[in-house]
A and B are shown apart, each in its own frame.
Chain A
Amino acid sequence: MSIETVASRYAHALLEIGVETNSLQPITEQMAELAKAYQTSAELRAVISNPLVSLADREAVLTDICAKMGVLPVVKNTLRMLVQRKRMAILPAMSRSLRKLADEHAKVVRAEVSSAKALSDDYVRRLQSEIEKLTGRKVLLERKVDPALIAGVVTRVGDLVIDGSLRTRLVDLKAQLLSS
């Protein structure tokens, strides 16, 4: 079975626990943080997936990390189970899958808006309501500043990118002029 399929099975289980115990949001966030830590720290990966280190030692490392990050017991248990079953490699995919499932459950969509300069709050509010109208869901908007866009706004809603930046138009213009 591919990593993605396995990850989605685990994510489904975690989603149900989250819904039952009413703690879906913290679980999702903590899983994302742990996945990030796992991805960015080569040392952590080297220790946790290393068969030469005994299981007890590895679990001790995990317990320390979990204590430091202050995660919920259910998240800690998930990690311990992943270590025992030698499935730690699915952690990033599992976190991604869980995020998607949680968003679907809460009926929210994530959007990201990048602009060359910081946007006014009023504009962002209008943009948010427009996206909500478009998708029919609650929108969690993340702001980003990217001077490379020159001017204009790039909005990303899920897979959909609405690109109104000057940079893209200049690139298009160049391509069109070169092709004709």
Chain B
Amino acid sequence: MQLRAEEISQIIKKQIQNFDKAALVTETGTVLSVGDGIARVYGLQGVMTSELVEFPGELFGMVLNLEQDNVGVAIFGEATHVKEGDTVKRTGRIADVPVGEALVGRVVNALGQPIDGKGPIDTPHRRRIEIKAPGIIQRQSVKEPLQTGLKAIDSLIPIGRGQRELIIGDRQTGKTAVAVDTIINQKGQDVYCFYVAIGQKQSTVAQVVDKLTHHGAMEYTTVVVASASELAPLQFIAPYSGCTMGEYFRDSGRHALCIYDDLSKQAVAYRQLSLLLRRPPGREAFPGDVFYLHSRLLERAAKISERWFVVKKGVTIPKGDVTFRGADGEMHVGPYAKQEAVEGGWKLADAEGFKAWEAAKGDDKKKLEKDLDKKLEGSDFVIERDPFSGGSLTALPVIETQAGDVSAYIPTNVISITDGQMFLEADLFYSGQRPALNVGISVSRVGGNAQIKAMKQIAGSLRIDLAQYREMAAFAQFASDLDAATRKQLDRGARLTEILKQGQYVPLAIEKQIAIIFAGTQGFLDPFPVSSLSRYEKEMYDYIDAQDKGIWEDIRTRKALDDDLRGRLKKLLTEFGKKFVPETKD
């Protein structure tokens, strides 16, 4: 933002005019003791919990403990110069961060201050970092898919917009890779992404930002960084800051995706804070409210219900105003909101016709509906949706396990909070199965509703085939002679496992995923050796591109695999199967 010389003198003029205003009244306290980034302050009567207080030298802190005669403050910065007897001032401000479109494409710290050297963040909006999650009235069930672009995930453990799906695994199993691929795949999907890096190396974060920029994903992504070198209080609030920034989009009718990488480090930072504040330690020395720490964060992920109104033509709905009522004096919310609003419209357009419709049954009712629709069109009422409703915030928390131990405290907590989890395993990773997803124990508890129908149709047989394969594979290890049916099942399973492999940074469109999984489950891959399948996949896409490019569009728009599409896919795959030459043995 560039200021002109006149503007500057205008500002100064205004300041000088207001200069002789009343004396500044502040509440203060004095530092009793300070150490390890925690200060105990005497005084500060009337201070609120999680309020920001100011130490000498423009140093801020957040009030965490309110005790009988002193206050525990976590200091957001270098605390070496704070000493006993220093004056602490109240600011009256609860910890907040800047939110809005200005943050898109930026890298900020946990307080929302830019750290990418691209100048100040120019936004008029600020929001508190701790906001209560939306209630049941404001929500609706998850129904839109959030495509990750990863075959293994979109087919077997689909994620919906507004869902919370945990990414869990040991170190170096590709957890961040799954998250980054998901962000890259949101290009052109109108999803704003927030990547919150907690307790990571600066170099790792720089790499992620670099990759996102390289793939054009920074255009819709904000990165919130509280690296390993930053203080525990900042690592503790970073996920809340990122969530708050995402909520701005959720509450204005848009879609946001928040990735918390990772929450085990946040829990460790919170444990440090809590122990220094002398809160009693519990299991693994975590404080008693470590469950609430994560549940209140993840509960803020939501799919917001749509608000429908009957309004007079020409009337614009005040965006996001929950006190607004339509021409029928109602706000229609819930799964049947649109239908209710239409009925409200019918009633206004033709009260008698509406009564007749209510009394009617069967075919008569359908006929009357058509008449009422026409009447509504002719009247000066319209049915409209509040553009600030129907948004979503999807959360992908990441948890790092130690040697695959998912029964440790933090992993079990977060598993129980989220709507499903994807397990990444080191063994699979090193055997070349990447993403190293264990599809046997990974689940998605709500995403199935959000899967597009075509994928649902073929994913069913994929899941069964893979389950049978796993069972057989364990059994077949001991058997030397296998009957043909078992042999066939093992072959099929090996091929299906092979096609779920996918490279990093190459998310795949849903229609292509459907094509390859269709080929696998329908046995089109059975004649070819497993080692040739990655080449098969690539060449198959090219072949379909050349022969029947329209099929991609058709799968996407029709959503379900009808007989026509099945027929076309089968034909294309049979023809390609004749042309494809698997590698010959040298």
Are A158 and B45 touching (Cβ within 8 A)?
Answer: yes
Q: From B278, which residue of chain A is reached at the shortest CB distance? A: A2
Within A126-180, the residues touching B (CB, 8 Å) are 152, 156, 158-164, 168-169, 172-173, 176-177, 180
| CA A24 to CA B18, docked complex, whole Å | 48
Are A156 and B28 touching (Cβ within 8 A)?
Answer: yes
| CA A161 to CA B12, docked complex, whole Å | 27
Question: B27: CB under 8 A from chain A?
Answer: yes
Question: A58: CB under 8 A from chain B?
Answer: no
Cβ contacts under 8 Å, A176 to chain B: 15
Question: B43: CB under 8 A from chain A?
Answer: yes
Q: Per-residue 0/1 for A75-106: is the Cβ within 8 Å of any B Cβ (1 yes, 0 no)? A: 00000000000000000000011000000000
Are B11 and A177 touching (Cβ within 8 A)?
Answer: yes
Which one of B65-73, B341-349, B377-385 is at the interface? Answer: B65-73
| CA A169 to CA B70, docked complex, whole Å | 29
Min CB–CB distance B19 → chain A (angstroms) = 6
| CA A26 to CA B68, docked complex, whole Å | 27
Are A161 and B26 touching (Cβ within 8 A)?
Answer: yes
Tell me how many residue pairs across A and B have CB atoms closer than 8 Å: 51
- Report, as a range, how many residues of chain B touch the other chain: 20 to 34
Cβ contacts under 8 Å, B546 to chain A: none
Are A172 and B278 touching (Cβ within 8 A)?
Answer: no
| CA A157 to CA B12, docked complex, whole Å | 33
Are A168 and B27 touching (Cβ within 8 A)?
Answer: no
Q: Among the listed A2, A162, A169, A173, which residue makes an inter-chain contact with B25, where contact means beta carbons less than 8 Å apart?
A: A162
Q: Per-residue 0/1 for B13-32: is the Cβ within 8 Å of any A Cβ (1 yes, 0 no)? A: 00100010001111111000
Are B29 and A159 touching (Cβ within 8 A)?
Answer: yes
Q: From B87, which residue of chain A is reached at the shortest CB distance? A: A161
Are A173 and B15 touching (Cβ within 8 A)?
Answer: yes
Within B24-50, the residues touching A (CB, 8 Å) are 24-29, 42-45
Question: A54: CB under 8 A from chain B?
Answer: no
Q: Among the listed A2, A5, A97, A164, which residue makes an inter-chain contact with B23, where contact means beta carbons less than 8 Å apart?
A: A164
Min CB–CB distance B63 → chain A (angstroms) = 14
Are B15 and A8 touching (Cβ within 8 A)?
Answer: no
Min CB–CB distance A159 → chain B (angstroms) = 4
Within B350-373, the residues touching A (CB, 8 Å) are none
Min CB–CB distance A134 → chain B (angstroms) = 11
| Interface residues of chain B: helix, strand, loop or mixed (majority) | mixed
Are B12 and A163 touching (Cβ within 8 A)?
Answer: no
Are A163 and B25 touching (Cβ within 8 A)?
Answer: yes
Q: Which of B28, B29, B43 has the most CB of A within 10 A?
A: B28
Are B45 and A4 touching (Cβ within 8 A)?
Answer: no
Are A161 and B25 touching (Cβ within 8 A)?
Answer: yes
Cβ contacts under 8 Å, B68 to chain A: 4-5, 8
| CA A8 to CA B45, docked complex, whole Å | 17
Are B27 and A159 touching (Cβ within 8 A)?
Answer: yes
Min CB–CB distance B291 → chain A (angstroms) = 26
Are A163 and B67 touching (Cβ within 8 A)?
Answer: no
Are A163 and B15 touching (Cβ within 8 A)?
Answer: no
Within A48-66, the residues touching B (CB, 8 Å) are none
Instruction: Tell whether A96 pairs with B24 under 8 Å between CB atoms, given A159-B29, A173-B19.
Output: no
Q: Which of B27, B28, B69, B89 has the most CB of A within 10 A?
A: B69
Within A17-58, the residues touching B (CB, 8 Å) are none
Are B11 and A159 touching (Cβ within 8 A)?
Answer: no
Min CB–CB distance B378 → chain A (angstroms) = 54
Q: Per-residue 0/1 for B566-586: is the Cβ within 8 Å of any A Cβ (1 yes, 0 no)? A: 000000000000000000000
| CA A108 to CA B314, docked complex, whole Å | 66
Instruction: Tell whether A164 pairs with B24 under 8 Å between CB atoms, given A176-B15, A177-B12.
Output: yes
Min CB–CB distance A74 → chain B (angstroms) = 24
Min CB–CB distance A144 → chain B (angstroms) = 14
Are B11 and A4 touching (Cβ within 8 A)?
Answer: no
| CA A168 to CA B89, docked complex, whole Å | 13
Are A159 and B44 touching (Cβ within 8 A)?
Answer: yes
Are A163 and B23 touching (Cβ within 8 A)?
Answer: yes
Cβ contacts under 8 Å, B27 to chain A: 159-161
Within B88-136, the residues touching A (CB, 8 Å) are 89
Instruction: Tell whether A4 pairs with B26 under 8 Å between CB atoms, given A158-B45, A159-B45.
Output: no
| CA A180 to CA B13, docked complex, whole Å | 13
Min CB–CB distance B85 → chain A (angstroms) = 11
| CA A158 to CA B43, docked complex, whole Å | 8
Instruction: Tell whether A172 pairs with B24 under 8 Å between CB atoms, given A4-B67, A5-B68, A159-B29.
Output: yes
| CA A180 to CA B28, docked complex, whole Å | 27
Cβ contacts under 8 Å, B44 to chain A: 159
Are A96 and B19 touching (Cβ within 8 A)?
Answer: no
Are B42 and A96 touching (Cβ within 8 A)?
Answer: yes
Are A180 and B11 touching (Cβ within 8 A)?
Answer: yes
Cβ contacts under 8 Å, A158 to chain B: 43, 45
Cβ contacts under 8 Å, A164 to chain B: 23-24
A-B contact pairs, 12 of them (CB 8 A): A152-B23, A158-B43, A158-B45, A159-B29, A159-B43, A159-B44, A161-B89, A162-B23, A163-B26, A164-B23, A164-B24, A173-B19
A: residues with CB less than 8 A from B are 2, 4-5, 8, 96-97, 152, 156, 158-164, 168-169, 172-173, 176-177, 180
B: residues with CB less than 8 A from A are 11-12, 15, 19, 23-29, 42-45, 67-70, 89, 278
Not counting A152-B23, A164-B24, A173-B15, a sample of 6 additional A-B residue pairs whose C-beta atoms are within 8 angstroms of each other reads A4-B69, A156-B28, A158-B43, A161-B89, A163-B23, A169-B24
The 9 closest A-B pairs by CB, nearest first: A164-B23, A163-B24, A159-B43, A159-B45, A4-B69, A161-B26, A161-B28, A159-B27, A162-B23
